[in-house]
Amino acid sequence: MNTPVKTADRPGVVKLNTVTKYKKIRSALTISAFVAPAIIIYAVYVLFPIMSTLMYSFYEWDGMGVGVFVGLQNYIDLFKDAVFWRALTNNTWVVLTSVFAQIPLGLIMALMLFAPIKGIKFFSSVYFFPFLMSTVAIGLLWVLMFDPLNGVINSIINVFGFENVSWLSETNTALFAVLLVIVWQFSPFYMILFKAAIVGIPGELYEAAEIDGASSFQKFFNITLPLLMPTIVSSSILAIVGSLKAFDIFYIMTGGGPNHGTELLGTYMFKQAFINFNMGYASAIAFIMFFLALFVTIIIQVMDHFRKKKGAYGI
């Protein structure tokens, strides 16, 4: 009967195991050394501000003195605040505009870049130009264009017999005017994303479809669109999160007016923090913004996961 040899009685095996463990430890330390700076930066500039915002939201604080702990009172007051709900409604309109106007327009612009049109490279540069401009410059430019007396927009509608409109001074038109500017500014960004994705689609698929007699619409809906779904999902997340954080263009063009007609969560938070010096209340608004962005992102990611699991599109 053979007697099993114990590991302790085999010095070569023990030495090999020790060397393997040492290599694993050294590999783990090496990986940690490379990852640690990124984790530290992320913790300092992302996680710490989020936790600090949550903590400040439980205080009544002017940003300078000692804060007074008030628990959930800031959130209770916030949910009773009519301006907050108006701002949240306006943010919802920005989200819907970004998802259902910017992304489709960006896709259309990207498809046009692959059309057999003379001088298409020139159009590619022209399309992307609005995204390269400073937001401040864009805001001031469109404020002048929307001028009720000498603006280009009113000059155009006057040609068709319409009277001058105070685009940025009337509650009924101010939000629409700024949303138009947002679509004009950010659609080129999604155009670039879709253009890069379309370039990555194998040409053999279109060639096979042509052999089968597929029309342009059939090729788009059966090849292009399904293969663009990952990009559409990513674009939707960027659009929604960016819309919930929107601030600069609205503050430059209208300052949240008239009568809170273009107030957003971002502009309302800014006013509470740096005009009213109500830092605790502003922190509550900021944390609500973070929570909404996180919640929507998780929902989209979960839906995308189930789409992939069901094989809704190939990636």
Taking the chain (315 residues) in runs of 10, the rounded mean pLDDT of each run is: 52 63 85 92 93 94 89 95 96 95 94 79 79 92 93 93 92 94 94 93 91 89 92 92 93 93 95 94 95 91 82 51
Place of tokens 């298409």: 120
What is the radius of gyration, based on Cα positions, of the chain?
Answer: 28
| Cβ neighbours, 10 Å, residue 51 | 12
Q: What is the pLDDT of residue 9?
A: 54
Picking from 249, 255, 281, the residue whose alpha carbon sits closest to that of residue 84 is: 281
CA–CA separation, 194 vs 200, rounded Å?
10
Q: What is the pLDDT of residue 314?
A: 47
Task: Extract the tokens encoding 159.
Answer: 């040609």
Q: What is the pLDDT of residue 86?
A: 96
Cis amide leading into 258 (omega within 30): yes
Amino acid at 161: G
Q: What is the pLDDT of residue 273?
A: 94
pTM attached to this predicted model? 0.85
| Cβ neighbours, 10 Å, residue 229 | 17
Query: What's the half-sphere exposure (Cβ side, CA atoms, 13 Å) at 53?
Result: 18
Please return the burial class of 84, using the count of CB atoms within 10 Å of its CB with bins 0-12, 13-18 and 19+.
buried
Sign of CA dihedral 221, 184, 264, 150: negative
